[in-house]
Amino acid sequence: MNDLPRPATKRGEATRQRLLEAAEHEIGAHGFHAASVSSITRRAGTAQGTFYLYFPTKEDALRELVRHMGRELRHALAEATRGAPHRLEAERRGFVAFARFSLGHSNLYRVVMESQFVDDAIYREYYQTLADAYAAGLTGAQAKGEIRRGDPETQAWALMGIAHFLGLRFAIWGGSEPPSEALDAVFDLVRHGLEVRP
């Protein structure tokens, strides 16, 4: 999968990006099996043969799309939390950023969920990569005394679960950002779970 052809030009990269965006829409809207290469290329405005220059199969396109969406999410979270004065503030900013990302990428949930039925390894990789980065941040915050000591990997998975269902409840099912009172309630739970106890 890591040996997929990469464009040698900016124009080629732009075409590849359009194909990924079209795949995100088609798979998110119709499901992996109902989405066809022809519907993806039609949405991308490319010839069907162009698809195969970048992705040998539709399954390869889905795998790359899941990885791409994971990178985009991690980038959005990193940007949102950059410069936070304390880990607890970074957590708050991160929850808001995740909800906004979910709202702007409403197909994220379906694409990722569909991937488990096509290639369970890429589905697990998506979450494990998120958890690894999250746990590294929590480890650093523990070392600085910003949050209580604990198993950072377990903390990361638990916090990801909270964010996942928060995004599902409001961004995906409700079509809006979580209201401030919901964010306050969630963050109160997170803060009491992470803050250093006297």
Helix and strand numbers (H, E) in the chain are: 9, 0
185 Cβ partners below 8 Å, 6+ apart? none
Q: How confident is the model at residue 1 (pLDDT cuts 50, 70, 90)?
A: very low
Q: Let me know: does 20 contact 68? Beta carbons within 8 Å.
A: yes
Q: Are 187 and 91 in contact (CB under 8 A)?
A: yes
Contact 152, 139 (CB under 8 A): yes
Q: Which of 108-112, 113-117, 146-150 has the lowest mean pLDDT?
A: 108-112
In whole angstroms, give the CA distance from residue 62 to residue 76: 21
CATH (one of 3.30.230.30, 3.40.640.10, 1.10.357.10, 1.10.150.20) for 59-194: 1.10.357.10
How far is the C-alpha of 170 from the C-alpha of 11, rounded, in Å?
37
Instruction: With 0.85 as the threshold, say if the pTM is over it.
Output: yes
Give which of 150, 156, 154, 158 is closest to 133, Cα–Cα.
156
**Measuring CA to CA, how many Å separate 41 from each of 54, 58, 115?**
12, 11, 20
Kindly report, residue by residue over 49-73, the tens digit of the pLDDT. 999 999 999 999 999 999 999 999 9
Predicted local distance difference test score (pLDDT) of residue 109: 84
pLDDT higher than threshold 80 for residue 3:
no
**H/E element holding 23?**
helix 10-30
- Quick: pLDDT tens for 9-43: 899 899 999 999 999 999 999 999 999 999 999 99
Q: Are 13 and 7 in contact (CB under 8 A)?
A: yes
- Domain borders along the chain are 59-194
